[in-house]
Structure 1
Amino acid sequence: MAANESDEVKNGAIQAMEPQDPEAPSAEVSGKRQSLSDIFTIFASGAALVSDGYFNNLMTMVNVILSEEYPKQYTASVKTRVSNALLVGEIFGQVVVGLTCDYLGRKFAIILTTLMIVLGGILATASSGKTIEGMFWMMTVARGIIGFGAGGEYPASSTSASEAANQHTLKSRGPIFILVTNLPLSFGTPLAVSIFLIVFSACHQSHYSTVWRVCFGLGCLLPLSVFYFRVRMLNSVLYRRGAIKRNVPYKLVLRYYWKNLIGTCGAWFLYDFVTFPNGVFSGTIIASVIPSTTKDVITKTGEWNLLLGALALPGVFLGAYLCDRLGRKNTMMLGFSGYLVFGLIIGLSYDKITKIVPLFVVFYGLMQSSGNLGPGDMLGLISSETYATSVRGTCYGLSAAIGKTGAAIGTQAFTPIQLHLGKRWTFIVAAIVGVVGVLVTYFFVENLNGEDLAERDKKFRTYLVENGWDGEMGEDDLQALADDGQVPAEGIVVPNKVLAEKK
């Protein structure tokens, strides 16, 4: 009786794995729908990821005008609190949404993050209170909500983009992933500064409250612009095949991926420790080196910040070009080395180089560009390729959350470093972090070759089965979806007990 049941299960699995008739109407329609969904998922991922870059870097200029508008109330501690609120929200968002997108699906997580960014943006625009201090607390909470949504975009959008690119165009998956993830994030810097300068000019370089409220409000349009496509998207075929929705073997996950987690978490911590405070406080840094005799310091600061943001963009494209040629690991070490070179150049010659503002901004931009070339481009790509589909969102979210913890600590430590050690030391510390980043990458980051993500799923699944895991992988209604032609039947995973019997 048991043998008959085993034969039936095997036969059912074999039948499920047989290719469907390509002429079948349902398969043709669903195939087109899945292909369109993959394309829209790839490009729509960046529209909300740009929100993270926009809202983070918007504070670069908002900090300047809030200090002018409220010189007594907007103290250093309040400035740090408002700036850090988004980072703290991102940490929670990355962990929570990372788990959510593995358990409930990529689509659900992406819709949730979009709504949170829009809600937070509306509340930030409407920030008010009985006192100025109360207004800043409302702004802090609103930026925390934005951060939760923007942080959730990392695991939700990035895993979706990686899986869709893997399904649609495997050979160019790495460059495509970078161009729809880190490019929008980096583009958020010049976009935020450009919008600020336009609004500031439209308000005749006054009406500061109107300026920052309009800038916050415009940030809501970014995720809303692709909300329709996100509602219409499908979960990736990789997710449908590889999801583990109950009894996730986290001990086995840690045992299998512990070294990779040290690499992605550690490198992301170091990268964000440098890049975020240097981004958030770049307006303050540049304003401090502009001659006191300059008229309209705010506009000049914005213009130099725009140049700084533009100089950081070439690194994104160079990293996308090198990721397949040098490899992910070598490209990341090259980028961390740029922190060492440019950090030391600026730090050791700070007193002289800051007297020539254009030269200072160029070297500052080259340091930021090297960060984009290496860890900025590679960390998301490596985190999306290293981990199996069933835990990709969780491990990606955890790595990004540790990174944002580094950003929060770096932002908190930035001002004390300047006050107690001197402004040059913020760049010398960046150089030191670059050395540590190279070492962490060399010893703990896997040298990936861009293989099919489905192959990594199979290796992980085999490891789980060999270590006694007997859970289910794939969505509950996967066979029904295959019967309806909504997923390719040849990709259905055979149940664990069948694999064990075949062995």
Structure 2
Amino acid sequence: MVKPQLEVLNALDVAKTQWYHFTAIIIAGMGFFTDAYDLFCISLVTKLLGRIYYHVEGAEKPGTLPPNVAAAVNGVAFCGTLTGQLFFGWLGDKMGRKKVYGMTLMVMVLCSVASGLSFGKSPKGVMSTLCFFRFWLGFGIGGDYPLSATIMSEYANKKTRGAFIAAVFAMQGFGILAGGIFAIIIASAFNALFSAPSYETNPIASTIPQADYVWRIIVMVGALPAALTYYWRLKMPETARYTALVAKNAEQAASDMSKVLQVDIEAEGQKIQKINEDQSSQFGLFTKQFLRRHGLHLLGTTSTWFLLDIAFYSQNLFQKDIFSAVGWIPPAKTMNAIDEVFKIARAQTLIALFSTVPGYWFTVLFIDRIGRFAIQLMGFFFMTVFMFALAIPYDHWTHKENRIGFVVMYSLTFFFANFGPNATTFVVPAEIFPARLRSTCHGISAASGKLGAMVGAFGFLYLAQSQDKSKTDAGYPPGIGVKNSLLALGVVNFLGMLFTFLVPESKGKSLEEMSGENEENEGEAEMNHTPSSLNNNNRTLQDV
């Protein structure tokens, strides 16, 4: 038996697209713009860090970060992100989405600046302080995931909810793009201002002192977009679903949404009281009721996000090594330090511009038309196909005449990651769990993803240490390790495709319908919401 829906929630579900929807997308999306910039800008400067702090005088090759240091610099932010997702996800359900939302942004701003000011008397000291501040930067970024997704899902109408949540996440693509463009500008400026004859004739030994400013500026500028949106986050009202269903304050929920929607909404205190008296709908996270209703849902969202992020973050963080391995980026010893930053940034910007960003917005366009399940399954399928197509004939792609084909196919894996599971794994956990557990469950799902990112960041690095002597003698990163890594990522994507069948379709349904919060009888709720995912998803595919 279905409970009568609160008027304030029904008003949100059927509301026409209005200006407040776009305001919420921009406010929440700028957080993700910053998240992506801060997480991925480090891949633009890791080789520069090696040249500056680990160059041996008289060596024939540029300095490089030791494998353990490179792994720490690239991966420590993910450790912080995982912790922040769990902590702020839980806090968002306990204190409210709005109260916590500003905290995460301030942590991000302060730690972006602090990362660029990393100090030490030795290379080890500088890297240690950089890792310390990037951990706390990741902690703030982690909080943005469950809070932004939950806030957007609770503000949106059910007809276009998927597109609105995906649009918030799509700002990540612009953050990656902005990082590459800014690095190109900075590298070009420093090359023009500080280059010298010796800098060109002996690129290895003559890394200019000013190069130390390049990576610091690139890292610190990530604080700007976050700082600009701080005020607007504080002005956002608490979501009606938290206020009404968790805080049990019908009057405040009606008042807040009346202003947002510009309509009169009845408070309906008696309905809130009735919902509060129904103990069967008040189960917690660690209960049998949750396990019966949402256990497989949570397994589906955590497993698919974990597997996706192994592939997605290893691809993003180490694409410079892959492009070097196939010769798209020249050997390091043929470039000075600033030139190397420029060429890495240019390669990553082209990938972002022609595959990453379009992939995000294809999801925004189609997610409420063909559904979450179809997009996620399709994305994992094509990522699997392209990874194996790159890995199995890998030696073919390393020939000079085939490099463009390699880059194109590699770019398509980014496109289908974003027009696929990278977006849907963010959207679905914000739609299928009860309001009182929504932020927590999204945080758990996202943290599982960051665990996958850590596996990708550390695992890919060490897989790529396998030596191909002919290439390393010529100044290239090891090639056989890249092949093994691509094969492993293909298997990971195939597993993601299989686990997608545990995730239910939420297209066109209200949040309360998906979570079971509007069901009167617990047994009936279990019947309707226990994830017989294969049946739900098969119907979705037939509709497509």
> Is this contact kept in 2: 1:197–1:299, CA < 8 A?
yes
Residue equivalent to 2:186 = 199
Candidates 322, 331, 347, aligned match of 1:304: 347
- The answer as to 2:508 corresponding to 1:450 is yes
> Is this contact kept in 2: 1:286–1:305, CA < 8 A?
no
The one-letter amino acid paired with 2:316 is: G
Residue equivalent to 1:89 = 80
Q: Deviations over 1:305-331 (max 9, x none)?
A: 111122222211222233223221111
User: Shift of the alpha carbon at 1:377?
Assistant: 1.4
- The answer as to 2:169 corresponding to 1:188 is no
- The answer as to 2:298 corresponding to 1:315 is no
Identity %, equivalent residues: 28
Candidates 134, 139, 150, aligned match of 2:125: 134
Structure 1: stretches of 5+ with no match in the other structure? 1-13, 20-31, 468-503
Residue equivalent to 2:113 = 122
Candidates 444, 453, 458, aligned match of 1:407: 453
Flag the 1:37–1:423 CA change in 2: closer, same or farther, 3 A.
Answer: same
Query: For residues 27-426 of structure 1, what are the structure 2 equivalents within 5 Å?
Result: 39-72=22-55, 74-166=65-157, 170-181=158-169, 183-204=170-191, 206=208, 207-243=210-246, 249-250=284-285, 251=287, 252-288=289-325, 289=327, 290-292=329-331, 295=335, 296-310=339-353, 311-354=355-398, 355=400, 356-420=402-466, 422-426=481-485
> Is this contact kept in 2: 1:238–1:454, CA < 8 A?
no
The one-letter amino acid paired with 2:344 is: T
Flag the 1:102–1:363 CA change in 2: closer, same or farther, 3 A.
Answer: same
> Is this contact kept in 2: 1:287–1:297, CA < 8 A?
no
Output the CA distance in 2 between the equivalents of 1:440 and 1:458: 23
The one-letter amino acid paired with 1:454 is: E
User: Shift of the alpha carbon at 1:456?
Assistant: 3.6
> Is this contact kept in 2: 1:267–1:440, CA < 8 A?
yes
User: Shift of the alpha carbon at 1:164?
Assistant: 1.2
User: Shift of the alpha carbon at 1:48?
Assistant: 0.9
Output the CA distance in 2 between the equivalents of 1:249 and 1:43: 33
> Is this contact kept in 1: 2:432–2:515, CA < 8 A?
no
The one-letter amino acid paired with 1:138 is: T
SS of corresponding position for 1:130: coil
The one-letter amino acid paired with 1:220 is: A
Flag the 1:325–1:71 CA change in 2: closer, same or farther, 3 A.
Answer: same
- The answer as to 2:434 corresponding to 1:434 is no
Aligned length: 435
SS of corresponding position for 1:393: helix
> Is this contact kept in 1: 2:187–2:341, CA < 8 A?
no
SS of corresponding position for 2:508: coil
> Is this contact kept in 1: 2:363–2:423, CA < 8 A?
yes
Output the CA distance in 2 between the equivalents of 1:300 and 1:18: 56
User: Shift of the alpha carbon at 1:36?
Assistant: 6.8
Give RMSD over aligned pairs. 2.7
In terms of mean alpha carbon deviation, does 383-392 or 355-364 score higher? 355-364
The one-letter amino acid paired with 1:112 is: M
User: Shift of the alpha carbon at 1:407?
Assistant: 0.6
SS of corresponding position for 1:324: helix
Q: Deviations over 1:313-365 (max 9, x none)?
A: 22112222332232211110000011111101111222222334333222111
Output the CA distance in 1 between the equivalents of 2:416 and 2:162: 18
Flag the 1:447–1:171 CA change in 2: closer, same or farther, 3 A.
Answer: closer
> Is this contact kept in 1: 2:360–2:423, CA < 8 A?
yes
Residue equivalent to 1:487 = none
> Is this contact kept in 1: 2:54–2:123, CA < 8 A?
no
The one-letter amino acid paired with 1:226 is: T
Output the CA distance in 2 between the equivalents of 1:349 and 1:52: 35
SS of corresponding position for 1:195: helix
Output the CA distance in 2 between the equivalents of 1:463 and 1:281: 51
Output the CA distance in 1 between the equivalents of 2:72 and 2:7: 58
> Is this contact kept in 1: 2:359–2:419, CA < 8 A?
yes
Flag the 1:165–1:397 CA change in 2: closer, same or farther, 3 A.
Answer: same
The one-letter amino acid paired with 1:61 is: L
User: Shift of the alpha carbon at 1:241?
Assistant: 1.4
The one-letter amino acid paired with 1:107 is: K
Output the CA distance in 2 between the equivalents of 1:400 and 1:192: 23
Output the CA distance in 1 between the equivalents of 2:232 and 2:84: 22
Output the CA distance in 2 between the equivalents of 1:199 and 1:461: 57
Flag the 1:383–1:18 CA change in 2: closer, same or farther, 3 A.
Answer: closer
Flag the 1:417–1:400 CA change in 2: closer, same or farther, 3 A.
Answer: same
Q: Deviations over 1:25-52 (max 9, x none)?
A: xxxxxxx9xx876553332101011122
Output the CA distance in 2 between the equivalents of 1:364 and 1:36: 38
User: Shift of the alpha carbon at 1:299?
Assistant: 2.2
The one-letter amino acid paired with 1:68 is: R
Residue equivalent to 1:480 = none
Structure 2: stretches of 5+ with no match in the other structure? 9-14, 56-63, 196-207, 249-275, 277-281, 467-479, 526-544
> Is this contact kept in 2: 1:102–1:244, CA < 8 A?
no
SS of corresponding position for 1:54: helix
User: Shift of the alpha carbon at 1:256?
Assistant: 2.0
Output the CA distance in 2 between the equivalents of 1:335 and 1:458: 29
Q: Deviations over 1:449-502 (max 9, x none)?
A: 2312233455366467999xxxxxxxxxxxxxxxxxxxxxxxxxxxxxxxxxxx
SS of corresponding position for 2:159: coil
SS of corresponding position for 1:128: coil
Flag the 1:196–1:297 CA change in 2: closer, same or farther, 3 A.
Answer: closer
User: Shift of the alpha carbon at 1:215?
Assistant: 1.2
Q: Deviations over 1:369-394 (max 9, x none)?
A: 11111111111111111112111100
TM-score of the superposition, structure 2-length normalised? 0.75
